[in-house]
Amino acid sequence: MEGPEKNLLIYKKYAYLYFYAYNLLEKYPKKERFALSTDIKNSLNITLKYILYAQKVFDKKEKINYLNLIDAELMYQRFMIRVSYNKRYISQNNYQVWSYKVAEIGKMLGGWIRSCQKG
């Protein structure tokens, strides 16, 4: 699937990830609500903004710039998920599901980047 439909799909997948993550973050200990939890929420919000910007921009260089920013935020989120698991704020199952969702979006993003570089 190419074009806007593909880009809309990444938005939908990210929305599912976003709500999944927010549900988990509500269960973090109070001491982490203004630290790790806030950092992850900020990254989720920034990534969502970048996805929306990338969908709207027509200049290929600018679009690729946003896509690279999304990729960097996903890498940051992967690390923070690992920290959350190591600190035992999330279960192994939560870790696996959350990581899978991020990886799936990363694969879609890679395809989007490649399609932008071809044209």
What is the pLDDT at residue 1? 42
Taking the whole predicted model, whether its pTM rises above 0.75 is answered as yes
The domains of the chain, with CATH numbers, are: 4-118 (1.20.1440.60)
pLDDT in tens, 10-67: 999 999 999 999 999 999 999 888 899 999 999 999 999 999 999 999 999 999 999 9
Q: How far apart are CA 1 and CA 90, in angstroms?
A: 34
Burial class (CB in 10 A: 0-12, 13-18, 19+), 44: buried
**Cβ contact 14:106 at 8 Å:** no
Strand residue runs (E) in 38-112: none
pLDDT in tens, 59-103: 999 999 999 999 999 999 999 999 999 999 999 999 999 999 999
